[in-house]
Structure 1
Amino acid sequence: MAWQALQLLLFLAAVGLGAYWCYKAVYHRYLYIKLGRPVHVERQAKERLHTFIVQTFGQTKLLKDRKSGIMHIVIFYGFLILQLGAIDLILKGLIGRGLPMPGYDAFGLVQEVTVALVLLAMAYAAYRRYGEKLKRLKRGWKPSLVIFFIWGLMLSVLLTLAFERVMHGLPGSAHAPVSSLLAAGFGGMGAGAAAVGFYITWWLHLLILLAFAVYVPQSKHFHIVTAPVNIWLRRTDPPGKLSKLDLEDEEAESFGVGRIEDFTRKQLLDLYACVECGRCTNVCPASNTGKMLSPMHLIVKLRDHLTEKGAAVTSKSPWVPRFAFGGGAQRVHTVTRLSEPLGAWRGTGITDIGPTLQAQKLAWTAGGRPISEVELIGGVMTEEELWSCTTCRNCEDQCPVGNEHVDKIVDMRRYLVLTQGSMPHDGQRALQNIERQGNPWGISRNDRIKWVKDIDPCGELRVPTVKENPDFDYLFFVGSMGSYDNRSRKVTKAFVRLLNKAGVSFAILGNEEKGSGDTPRRLGNEFLFQQLAAENIALFDKYGVKRIVTACPHTYNTLKHEYPDFGLGPDVEVLHHSELLDRLVKEGRLQPRYEVRERITYHDSCYLGRYNGVYEQPRAVLRAIPGVELVEMERSRDNGMCCGAGGGMMWMEETAGKRVNVARTEQALAVQPTVISSACPYCLTMMEDGTKLKEMETQVKARDIAELLEQAVFGPAPAPLIS
């Protein structure tokens, strides 16, 4: 009895201390998150519940990498099942008997099988990290500590059960296969020695469990707690929609994010939800082509900075207990300038994240610098990283815990542009041209409608303005690329011919049209974006616009999802030209009669696909064309790689690593197409430039789906006369 009382007291003391330390670690980080700006979270419980269940218990994001996804599911559900086993084991050590439940033998079998599966899953996790040596996974003692924790937990369960069998003289059982096998190995051990072994392994299991609970909030494994919360509190806005800045706030000292506290609390919660799995970096076009930006390191560096600054502001230590986590003076992490910065392409193959990961590892170092001297932009994130993002959202699509990277980058760009007046010269020139002439080239705004005469000098096409056709059904928002860029004008012409053929009543704004503002907004100039949005919406209201169609996914996304925040009515329907063409073909208003004998691979635009889920309509148009053989690239649909033009990068020169469009073109060429098709003027330009740089422009053409459908509907264009 005295031993049981002492055992109970020691148990309560250990659990109490472990729970207290765990609470302190969690609470301190909660205080750090509270430093951020409050954010309103829409309730929408039903919608949130569905996504929460699918992503948390269905592990759908993790299954994008099937092998590691299955491994994680085994560990996830294994731990859920073993919680009951832990209670059973604790009771055996305290009162000498387990849980009183029916079917106890079956429960024991499930427990041992689960333990064995978790051990196998952790062995595979170690193999992927140290055997396969996946570049996206970090190696070292910190990333590996959890492997030892879990292996220790599982082995201590099996050993405790085995010693229990020997202690009580229990025979081998098919309901306890593993512990029976181990017990047979302890055959010569007496009951007393087995009892000592039982309590040693019992206490070992308990202490590992408590140490793990204290360690979790202070490591990347805090995602066990924060990831479900992060998924539940996720934004229910359309994917990638940017927040609206109140530029008329007279009390605002700055705009955008220049300090870690300027992020919202939800954005800061993202930082502690990160698993450091590297899936985001593995698909990032910047990381893949030797730029400094790595989405995983973006989150990790912001998290470290939040922890360090949070500890200084709240006077609450991040490390609990301090003696076990390197107490004493806190070392502050800052960006270190590389002696050999990233420049020429140093990777192998089409894409390679190795050079970026190595550069990030060398650049993010801890030193004795006071936290008060560390600037968010410059000390944590470099401008080079912020201006490398194409805003493609592949990182967010891959993230298993619902982190959002792009809005953080754009928020910091906003600070650079609106508060500090800093941005690369190429981007600044494009924005100045948009501000002065409404287009990135600085061509006269009065020449916006000139494309009509240039592509139709004989006046055969019917391209009315809103004044000439006030009863139009669709407003064709041509956009700057479709109006000014010579290559994109061919797409505009093809689309207009198809609209006329289908009998669609449409009109254009002509010289009254302004750019949509996507480029200024993604480059951080919210002021210019809001000005363009207000002017365009005023025109839509003036002419009673109810339906808009555009061939540019960037314009499509901006009009559809971001203009409503600035007054565009909810009754205005916005379509991409691929959606309308698909509809017209299915309705029989457009009939592809002529064969187009081409092997075509379709490149998904990020702003059409990942932002808006439009994957099937462009492919349906291509499949409707006789003679077309449609082949998919290895990276397609929701995992399609960016062409490199998004986020304003269309107007900025790449100075490090391989050109993104070259890498994407190489991926397309790998399936040996005769045509690389797209449904975006930016993508079309990038793919065409890519084939030229690869000296394949004579063998492989870049074509918009409208051009291919035009050929199928009207027949091949007559060959030019040779004089």
Structure 2
Amino acid sequence: MLQLLNLLAFLAVTGYAVYLFINLVYTRVLFIKLGKQSEFEPNLKERIGTVLSNALGHKKLFKDKKSGLMHLVLFYTFFIIQIGLIELIIKGFIKGYEFPFDEAHKYFSLLQEWATFLMLLAVAYGFYRRYGEKLKRLQWKRDGKAAFVYIALCTLTLSILIALGFEAIMLNHEPNLVYAPFSGTIALLFSGIGTTAGTVLFYVFWWTHMLTVFSFLVFVPQSKQFHELFAMVNIFFKKQGPVGKLKKIDFEDEEAEEFGVGKIEDFTRHQLIDLYACAECGRCTNMCPASGTGKTLSPMDLMVKMRNHLTDKGQAVTSRNPWMPGNIFGSSALFPALSPAERESAAALEMPRLIGDVITEEELWACTTCRNCEDQCPVGNEHVDKIIDLRRYLVMTEGNVPQEATRYFQNIERQSNPWGMNRKERVKWREEREDITVKTVKETAEFEYLLWVGSMGSFDKRSQKIVQSFAKIMNAAGIEFAILGNDERNSGDTARRMGNEFLFQQLCEENIANFQKYDVKKIVTIDPHAYNTFKNEYPEFGLEAEVYHHTELIWQWIQEGRIKPEKEVTEAIAYHDSCYIGRYNDIYDIPRQILKSIPGVKVLEMERNKSDSMCCGAGGGRMWIEETEGKRINVERTEQALRLNPTTIGSNCPYCLTMLSDGTKAKEVEEQVKTLDIVEIVERSLAI
């Protein structure tokens, strides 16, 4: 009779909890469907591989090895314990029930006990990291939900062991300390209470476990724990192709009245999945150069605020339809998809504005587009494309642009360079050194490489020295190359990442037309930003050419023996990884190999290096917008380099070099610590 009553109570509680869970999950699915339909390229092999490495293998989580190990234990012990949960549930209805594993059951029991204990240890360590060690990235929010998770998980694990311990007393079994070491210890400690008390306590802790399971089940979709369901989905649907590649806007769409994202439902569904996949672990914000230097931008906070806004808007939309669940007390178990009319009605709701009320303009313009946040995210969230979509709305729909950005756009439109200097002065840099030979495409009939000089190399005095050094090396290597000269335009990369997609596409079309006109097959540039956009974004618009960064070719020529670093260059170089060569294009080893091939050079690694390298602060248009909030990013990065006591700070990007040079000046060490591009260091080592 007791087991029957227990079964009826269990079924009632289970039914209600499962109903609430399904209701909550499905409403979130409906909220995601508010977004625009997005393209999906199957690429199953690649997608499954990504899931295996990042979800099952915890690749990104192990960027923080301590947290990675803790989560790995939690992840796999959770699945192991679920098998035992089935057996534990049946034990509540059938006294002494065990899976029919015969002699193998003792090993199953041992596995369950150790999995439960290890989960308990992992939970305890997680609690210590947040509340004992007070890990900075976990201190952003104090709303009690994190504490509930720790308490619930501790209750889940302890109640399993305690219930099993009292079951042994209930069945009058001898404690088994070999195959049930933890529950056996509990049974041994309480062996004198008798079978009746053992039975009562078994059901007390059995129900404690079940109620905790059901409470957690309902809690998950309403908290950051929702990532437990959406993380793998998000990783699977993650955008394929070059990382950081932005989606193209069709300006020929006559029905388009707005460009960019001004409302939450203007994001694609894949972008909205990101919001519910966010684990609020703080890894993105912890590595963000803007957040780390006192700016208002926090990538994690950005995701959380948009998620909450989507949930609020979704509930408001679904509440208009009595047949759709808007919250846990939804009126129907039938969940019809949103009709087009219902989706459009979302725009008419009186809700806080996405830009202005939910996300401030200051947050959007603080981003350097370095992708450190995305590189750190264990669930594959993409923050930068959302920020740029919001910038696009400000720039192209509202015309709401910072004054410096407006000046930048105007100068690019008029003279195709950020300073507004006469475009006819683009070739003057080659006249300043008599030991180099640089011809334009109009001055030579044949060339293998088109050297894309870029606006920095053409007009910035410091950056001109970089391109001059590279031209000297190309001459020494016997490479036939040419430049576009005054026909060269700006690459448009910065304009695109500042939100002016229209200007980018205009420049892109002009540049591709020039490449085709002069039959360009290979492009090399000293500018990582131009390199990235030519290699990964221009092909969508018709570019058919091989694209190289100057360090790639320098290393190739060293290996081929075309150039030989022979002279000793006695420098201790703190090497800085450019974001657009590093995180965008995964080039980390080549620059280091070049430096190590130079006699006398000692390469010093900053604490934040390679994929963890901190941005110089110039990306995303920040080069042209004054920093008025917090500490200057370039100064912070320079200080990180100076901790190594280098004689030189090395880079492979004219933007980075400018920012680091300004940093050494701000720290008043420019006389003691040089700032050089790799190509300048190579040139010093050549016997030419």
Q: TM-score, normalised by structure 1?
A: 0.90
Deviations 1:64-101 (A, max 9, x none): 00011111111111101101110111111122202112
Asked whether 1:433 is paired with 2:411, we answer yes
What does 1:156-195 align with in structure 2 at a 5 Å threshold?
156-173=159-176, 174-195=178-199
What does 1:416-495 align with in structure 2 at a 5 Å threshold?
416-453=394-431, 455-456=432-433, 458=434, 460-495=435-470
1:714 Cα deviation after fit: 3.6
Relative distance call for 1:282 and 1:318 in structure 2 (3 A) is farther
Name the stretch that deviates more: 166-175 or 72-81: 166-175
Deviations 1:305-357 (A, max 9, x none): 0000110012156542599xxxxxxxxxxxxxxxxxxxxxxxxxxxxxxxxxx
Deviations 1:247-297 (A, max 9, x none): 121111100000000000011000000000000000000000000000000
Q: Is the 8 A contact 1:91 1:99 kept in 2?
A: no
Question: Equivalent residue for 1:557?
Answer: 532
The residue type equivalent to 2:285 in the other structure is T
Name the stretch that deviates more: 587-596 or 113-122: 113-122
Of 634, 639, 642, which residue of structure 1 is paired with 2:615? 642
Question: Equivalent residue for 1:289?
Answer: 293
Deviations 1:533-568 (A, max 9, x none): 000000111111111000000000000001011111
Name the stretch that deviates more: 701-710 or 3-12: 3-12
Of 261, 265, 268, which residue of structure 1 is paired with 2:269? 265
The residue type equivalent to 1:283 in the other structure is M
Matched residue SS, 1:376:
coil
Equivalenced residue count is: 663
Q: Is the 8 A contact 1:470 1:543 kept in 2?
A: no
Matched residue SS, 1:379:
coil
What does 1:156-555 align with in structure 2 at a 5 Å threshold?
156-173=159-176, 174-315=178-319, 319-320=327-328, 372-453=350-431, 455-456=432-433, 458=434, 460-555=435-530
Question: Equivalent residue for 2:676?
Answer: 703
1:371 Cα deviation after fit: 6.6
Question: Equivalent residue for 2:12?
Answer: 13
Instruction: Work out the CA distance in 2 between the residues paired with 1:708 and 1:29.
Output: 55
Matched residue SS, 1:612:
coil
Question: Equivalent residue for 1:366?
Answer: none
Matched residue SS, 1:600:
strand
Question: Equivalent residue for 1:590?
Answer: 563
1:114 Cα deviation after fit: 1.2
Matched residue SS, 2:238:
coil
What does 1:104-123 align with in structure 2 at a 5 Å threshold?
104-123=105-124
The residue type equivalent to 1:582 in the other structure is W
1:471 Cα deviation after fit: 1.6
The residue type equivalent to 1:511 in the other structure is N
Instruction: Work out the CA distance in 2 between the residues paired with 1:469 and 1:42.
Output: 43
Q: Is the 8 A contact 1:129 1:139 kept in 2?
A: no
Q: Is the 8 A contact 1:218 1:318 kept in 2?
A: no
Instruction: Work out the CA distance in 1 between the residues paired with 2:671 and 2:313.
Output: 57
Instruction: Work out the CA distance in 2 between the residues paired with 1:4 and 1:120.
Output: 33
Question: Equivalent residue for 1:126?
Answer: 127
The residue type equivalent to 2:574 in the other structure is T
Question: Equivalent residue for 2:99?
Answer: 99
Q: Is the 8 A contact 1:257 1:412 kept in 2?
A: yes
Matched residue SS, 2:523:
strand
Instruction: Work out the CA distance in 1 between the residues paired with 2:531 and 2:51.
Output: 29
Question: Equivalent residue for 1:661?
Answer: 634
Question: Equivalent residue for 1:332?
Answer: none
Please identify runs of 4+ aligned residues in structure 1 that moved more than 3 A: 316-319
Q: TM-score, normalised by structure 2?
A: 0.95
Relative distance call for 1:511 and 1:601 in structure 2 (3 A) is same
Q: Is the 8 A contact 2:23 2:325 kept in 1?
A: no
The residue type equivalent to 1:383 in the other structure is E
1:485 Cα deviation after fit: 0.3
Matched residue SS, 1:677:
strand
Q: Is the 8 A contact 2:569 2:599 kept in 1?
A: yes
Matched residue SS, 1:258:
coil
Matched residue SS, 2:308:
helix
Q: Which runs of 5+ in 2 are unaligned?
A: 332-347
Instruction: Work out the CA distance in 1 between the residues paired with 2:638 and 2:620.
Output: 19
Q: Is the 8 A contact 2:318 2:326 kept in 1?
A: no
Instruction: Work out the CA distance in 2 between the residues paired with 1:296 and 1:46.
Output: 30
Deviations 1:508-533 (A, max 9, x none): 00000101001110100000000000
1:217 Cα deviation after fit: 0.8
Q: Is the 8 A contact 1:289 1:657 kept in 2?
A: yes
1:6 Cα deviation after fit: 2.4
Asked whether 1:142 is paired with 2:142, we answer no
Matched residue SS, 2:450:
strand
